[in-house]
Structure 1
Amino acid sequence: MSERSSVTWNAIITGYSSQRAGHKQYAFSALLLFRDMLMDESGVMPTDTTMVCVLSAASQLGMLEIGASLHGFAEKTMCVPEDDVYIGTGLVDMYSKCGCLESALLVFKRMNQKNVLTWTAMITGLSIHGKGEQALAFLYEMGANGMKPNAATFTSLFSACCHAGLVQEGIDLFCDMNKKLGVMPNMQHYGCIVDLLGRAGRLKEAYDFIMGMPVRPDAVLWRSLLGACKIHGDTAMGEKVGNLLLQLQEQSFDDLAPRSEDYVALSNLYASAEWWIKVETVRKEMKVRGFLNKAGCSSVQTANLNAL
């Protein structure tokens, strides 16, 4: 292109920073494009959209130094970041994911305006750092400020409860999210509760929870519970869950297509309990389905003695 505007630069930088597959490679490319934008002879200046995108790229890479430099650049050339809700939210997200929670909290407290994304970014940061009780406190503070949480907010809150071992608090929150706060649970929320109960060893409750769901559970939920059964040594429950998962696979729904790792997980569960006959049965079934591949080979380079 012979001419590029801020819209042009923002389009390509947004495209790179928003990729999820191979996100680190694309995030780095987004930062390189931002550098090229600053060096471009046309003198096009970044906008708030540009800054949000490059802050996202820095957070994906965990590059605190780059993120802090972007913070300083925004302050010197554009605006006070705390006065821009989008840049401020991007800074909260970046500092949290780069391991600098105190800086994220400082930016958050200084912001003159906050939206639901800002609150969610701060709660996510607290969750990442294992601050479960503080994350729950932010939920109530959020309500006191007239801000209603959304589905993403609850995902972060449930994650915080999982990391902090706040089992009852997470269950109570799940019960309240629709009745009191008007947010309908989705599959990700159900998965968080299964993970929460599974981590606590409350496997029977997790199983009953899945069976009582108003929607059909996906394979991820059953795999989560199967993993918890292995961790806590409940082979009987694990066998029940594993066989149910394999039976669901036979129906060949989109998200329940046959997966080799499900057979491996069940086989490992049997092996941990030293149920070798059942291990062999699962391995034979894997062979029938073509999941057993030939053993892999590694190459080792040795010195050429003749060349010495």
Structure 2
Amino acid sequence: MLVGDCGVKANGTTMVCVLSAVSRLGYLETGISIHGHIVKTMCDIENDVYIGTGLVDMYAKCGCLDSALNLFMRMKHKNVLTWTTMVSGLAVHGKGKQALKIFDDMIESGILPNSVTFTSLLFACSQAGLLEEGLYLFHNMKRVFHILPLPHHYGCIVDLLGRLGHLDEAYEFIISEKVEGDEVLWKSLLHACRIHDNVVMGERVAKILFSIQPEMNLEIPCDNSEDYVALSNICASAGRWEDVAAVREVISVKGIETKPAVSTVFA
């Protein structure tokens, strides 16, 4: 219910929290009802940056990108969160070019991006396969905006390079940026090796992964079964069955338990 029977009236902060919950759940009909309630009883959305941003986020996450864009364009006041929310919504829907255009408009309006903005931008480039644009943004993030990259920024670049089959470049990127201790990046590259059937790079990446992960023992839990399975699948794709058998033997000797796949069917 939008207004409880206790007589306490919901305010803007309440609506922002409710919109956030609706966004996470993807309840579009509920979100539309809340939107109508706000228009009728509370405020002019175009002038309220927080409620406006919450509605843009809600519509984008519920799949109504046109409604999100329409609201965004009508907003008279936007902060960095508003711009970032719109970029993120476009990124999730694979609209990389549009996300970059929104970013250009953001800079022209005088709003400076933050670390989260660049996460959304790099994700947009990764989803849309915009290699040059992604690399340009990554380097400008440091040079122009003086924002230090975080692990997820590096992850977006490795994912972008991996998706496009630039496995050597992804490998060199991890080494040159001195983030070779981050196993998530190597796992991403190993996954790309499997997709592109690159056994040589897959073996190299797998060896690095195995070297930076703790050995199996009772005191230090280690779950790298996915890495062994991925390497086995890469070898199988290339028809290297002796190598498949060798990897499977290592799994057996180390006592590593592989996780079975699980599917969920909604009635």
What is the Cα deviation at residue 293 of structure 1? 6.4
Structure 2 counterpart of 1:140: 104
Structure 2 counterpart of 1:66: 30
What one-letter code is carried by the residue in structure 2 that aligns with 1:245?
Answer: L
What is the Cα deviation at residue 287 of structure 1? 2.1
Structure 2 counterpart of 1:244: 208
**TM-score of the pair, normalised by structure 2:** 0.90
- Please say which structure displays the higher CA radius of gyration: 1
CA pair 130-295 structure 1, distance change in 2 beyond 3 A: closer
Of 283, 292, 305, which residue of structure 1 is paired with 2:248? 283
Structure 2 counterpart of 1:49: 13
Are the equivalent residues in 1 in contact too, given 2:118–2:153 (CA < 8 A)? yes
Are the equivalent residues in 2 in contact too, given 1:210–1:217 (CA < 8 A)? no
What is the Cα deviation at residue 38 of structure 1? 2.4
CA deviations over 1:64-83 (Å, ceiling 9, x no partner): 11111111111112112222
Structure 1 residue 292 and structure 2 residue 257: aligned?
A: yes
For residues 289 and 90 of structure 1, the distance between their equivalents in structure 2, rounded to whole angstroms, comes to 50
For residues 272 and 214 of structure 1, the distance between their equivalents in structure 2, rounded to whole angstroms, comes to 31
What one-letter code is carried by the residue in structure 1 that aligns with 2:149?
Answer: P
Are the equivalent residues in 1 in contact too, given 2:158–2:185 (CA < 8 A)? yes
Are the equivalent residues in 2 in contact too, given 1:167–1:197 (CA < 8 A)? yes
| Structure 1 stretch displaced more, 276-285 or 89-98 | 276-285
Structure 2 counterpart of 1:274: 239
For residues 150 and 231 of structure 1, the distance between their equivalents in structure 2, rounded to whole angstroms, comes to 33
What is the Cα deviation at residue 217 of structure 1? 3.8
After superposition, residues 27-176 of structure 1 pair within 5 angstroms as 35=1, 38-40=3-5, 42-176=6-140
What is the Cα deviation at residue 214 of structure 1? 3.3
What is the Cα deviation at residue 246 of structure 1? 1.1
What is the Cα deviation at residue 136 of structure 1? 0.8
Are the equivalent residues in 2 in contact too, given 1:187–1:217 (CA < 8 A)? no
Number of equivalent positions: 257
CA deviations over 1:208-257 (Å, ceiling 9, x no partner): 000111344411111110111111111100111011111111379xxx94
**TM-score of the pair, normalised by structure 1:** 0.79
| Structure 1 stretch displaced more, 203-212 or 157-166 | 157-166
Which ranges in structure 1 are unaligned for 5 or more consecutive residues?
Answer: 1-34, 297-308
Structure 1 counterpart of 2:192: 228
Structure 2 counterpart of 1:203: 167
Are the equivalent residues in 1 in contact too, given 2:226–2:258 (CA < 8 A)? no
Structure 2 counterpart of 1:18: none
For residues 110 and 222 of structure 2, the distance between their equivalents in structure 1, rounded to whole angstroms, comes to 44
Identity rate, percent: 55
What one-letter code is carried by the residue in structure 1 that aligns with 2:191?
Answer: G
For residues 135 and 250 of structure 1, the distance between their equivalents in structure 2, rounded to whole angstroms, comes to 40
Are the equivalent residues in 1 in contact too, given 2:206–2:227 (CA < 8 A)? yes
Structure 2 counterpart of 1:214: 178
Are the equivalent residues in 1 in contact too, given 2:181–2:212 (CA < 8 A)? no
